[in-house]
Structure 1
Amino acid sequence: MADRRCTHCPGSHTGERPCLASATTKARSWLLIEHPGPWAERIEDTDLPEPVAEALARAARHGVRAQFIRVPGRRRATPPLWVYTGFSGDTAPDGRPVTPWLEGRELADPAELAGLDLASVAAGRAPGFGPPVADPLLLVCAHGRRNACCARTGAPLARALGERFGDQVWETTHVGGDRYAANLVCLPHGLYYGDLDEQGAVAAARAYHRGEVTLDRYRGRAGLPEPVQAAEHFVREHTGIVAVADVTVESMIADTAVVRAGLARYRVRVERVDPGACGPGCSENLATYVKREVALLNGAALV
């Protein structure tokens, strides 16, 4: 296997580079399928039973993000296999308000995946494929074929979290942002964290159990454009509001957002900045965002 570490990128995996506003922008609906591995660099290239391959193809057609998951620290034979679906957005594609949800069940036969209505999942509607999942799912990227650092840092982190949070924790395939390994995704809300050590990951997981985010190493929320993630981050940083549901970006036009935070509304102006190339052969997107203004909409400047 080729060594795909990002060691040529200064600050990779060290916390030196800012990771805000870097959550994947294309994932609001999710399909998680237990697969013990080995995982190919692209999950669709993995040697798969036909029902699993067909489910991945349907997920791709409907725009549902598919991830393989496995128990940290061991390779449980499948079937039976756990399958989860979920939606992490606050609004459905048709504009309906949605409360993020998860449901899942253990399948005795992968052929049962044929009954999963992925069109409903993509639309933000729970398909009733399994019972609702009350506890969060904590996904740690450990996809070594994609990036060696994800296995080197992610696998031990998943084991450590598993000792504290039990079967809520899964190793998973590529979640985006390899240079931020170790990466954690908290579902159903799709909260991304990066550059984590065990202490930071435990703090993020405990905060999520309380319905909160912790801004330290918070990458953003999946499914939102990067400028929107940045506006949310800067308002949380300014106000100290950490409840997941208490900060919402109501609109974003060019570089300016209107953000509701608690009972107040703010105008937030952000700017995308590019620190430049990180080294020969590096194709990573290293751009980030800086705050230009945070002001109450009644006109009182709070920068």
Structure 2
Amino acid sequence: MANGCEHFPALHTGAAPVLASATVGAKFWLLIEHSGPWAAYLDECKLPDKVHALIDRATSLGIRPQLIRRSGRRAAETTTTHIFVASSAGPEPWLAEGRFEDLNDLDLGSLVHGVVPESCILVNEPMFLVCTHGKRNACCARLGLPLARFLDENLPGGVWETSHVGGDRYAANLVCLPHGLYYGSMSQAAAIAAANAYRHGEVVLDRFRGRAGIPEPLQAAEHFVRSHTGEFSVGGVAVESSRSESGTTVCVVRCTSPRGSSRFRVVVEPAVFTPPCGMTCADEISTYRLAELRQLTPAVA
């Protein structure tokens, strides 16, 4: 088992920066209900051959596979496989659900084109994933399990435990689907605030890691514009263009609010957070700093 949380005395409290650390490669999701146990890696899990084949097929298409389970209870025995698929890409992310006897009936090709597979039904409520993958990292179980139970009590039906989502050092990790919003170092209070905000179409910047599927410098640029403007609607801030320039990333970021739409030039550069005394376990953490933020166009209704 990976290092326990005793080796990470302050990383999980919000003292370390978490911004711009959401998983870059997760635009499309395959979520398979499996009560466990979960091995450290999905290809080592004791799963039916047909499920391993589905995971391999998804991975080859660039779809992120996750195992999920209800907090504190096992799934009932059934001949079908319970699956969710989600697209976090584009302006209108979606989440859909299906149950399959033959997993070949699941059209993953439609998913990577942003189309709901015919065998699935759209889900209108958000889905909250809490990483509890203890065989991957002990902190994910020690911190994630009580958080998952707490959220499940307060948001019944909407919360699932999940396998590794990326960023063990940020446990407890919370992912909000379908938009793929990542939060890290979550306390119970921070998690319920983030979940309730997402249910109302908003982002909370406290402990917000970023949106999955977007390069990390662009996540940082969006974060700094949100902080500058106070625009917290999920779709209210988005990078329109970006380029690398002398070790920095230069972005044009659109911000849309009730006051109108405006654009900002944002320059971010890599930075390193060196843990202070008391965070003796931690390596230096790569992050980003704001080098420039300038409004290009006034808000136009």
| TM-score of the aligned structures, taking structure 1 as reference length | 0.90
Partner of 2:173: 183
Q: How does 1:261-272 map to 2 (within 5 A)?
A: 261-262=255-256, 263-272=261-270
In terms of fraction of residues, the more strand-rich structure is: 2
CA distance in 1, matches of 2:50, 2:145: 27
Pairs within 5 Å for 1:9-28: 9=8, 11-28=10-27
Give the alignment partner of residue 272 of structure 2, picking from 271, 274, 285. 274
Query: Percent of counterpart pairs with the same letter?
Result: 49
How many equivalent residue pairs? 287
Specify the alignment match of 2:185 in structure 1. 195
1:184-234 deviations in Å (ceiling 9; x for gaps): 000000000000011100000000000000000000000000000000000
1:106 paired residue number: 99
Deviation at 1:7, TM superposition (A): 4.5
1:150 aligns with 2:140: yes
What is the 5 A alignment of 1:69-80?
A: 69-79=68-78, 80=80
The alignment partner of 2:266 has SS state of: strand
- Seen in structure 2, the aligned counterparts of structure 1 residues 281 and 14 have a Cα distance that, compared at 3 Å, is closer
CA contact under 8 A between 1:4 and 1:146: conserved in structure 2?
A: no
Q: How does 1:103-252 map onto structure 2 within 5 Å?
A: 103-107=96-100, 109=101, 112-252=102-242
Structure 1 CA distance, aligned partners of 2:82 and 2:189?
28
Deviations 1:158-190 (A, max 9, x none): 111111111110000000010110000000000
Q: State the alpha-carbon separation in 1 of the partners of residues 130 and 156 from structure 2.
A: 13
Q: Tell me which amino acid in the other structure corresponds to 2:118.
A: G
Question: What's the C-alpha RMSD, in Å, of the aligned pairs?
Answer: 2.0
| 1:224-280 superposed Cα distances (whole Å, 9 cap, x missing partner) | 000000000000000000001111110111111100001110001111112359999
Deviations 1:42-96 (A, max 9, x none): 0121011111111001011101000000000122244354210010011xxxxxx
Q: Structure 1: which 5+ residue stretches go unaligned?
A: 91-97
Partner SS state of residue 38, structure 2:
coil
In structure 2, the residue matched to 1:32 is 31
1: distance between equivalents of 2:5 and 2:72? 24
State how far apart, in whole Å, the 2-side matches of 1:60 and 1:6 are.
30
Distance 1:177 1:285, change over 3 A: farther
The DSSP-based 3-state class of the residue aligned with 2:291 is strand
| CA positional deviation for 1:3 | 4.0
Q: CA deviation at 1:13?
A: 1.1
Change over 3 Å in CA distance of 1:295–1:189 after alignment to 2: same
CA separation in 1, counterparts of 2:280 and 2:148?
32
For residues 119 and 266 of structure 2, what CA distance do their matches in structure 1 show? Answer: 41
Q: Could you tell me whether the CA contact under 8 Å between 1:103 and 1:129 is conserved in 2? A: no
Q: 1:117 to 1:13 in 2, by over 3 A?
A: same
Cα distance change on mapping 1:249 and 1:115 into 2, 3 Å:
same
- In structure 1, distance between residues paired with 2:25 and 2:56: 17
- Name the counterpart of 1:256: 250
| Contact 1:231–1:268, Cα closer than 8 Å, also in 2 | yes
SS at structure 2 position matched to 1:125 = coil
In structure 2, what is the Cα distance between the partners aligned to 1:158 and 1:280? 28
Look up the SS of the partner of 2:122 in the other structure: coil
Quick one: distance in 2 between partners of 1:142 and 1:52?
20
Query: Could you tell me how far apart the structure 1 residues matched to 2:3 and 2:107 are?
Result: 36
Unmatched 5+ residue regions in structure 2?
A: none
1:256 and 1:78 mapped to 2: Cα distance?
52
Distance 1:220 1:256, change over 3 A: same
State the AA in 1 paired with 2:268. Answer: V
Deviation per CA, 1:81-118: give whole Å up to 9, x if none.
Answer: 4210010011xxxxxxx5101110234x3xx2111111
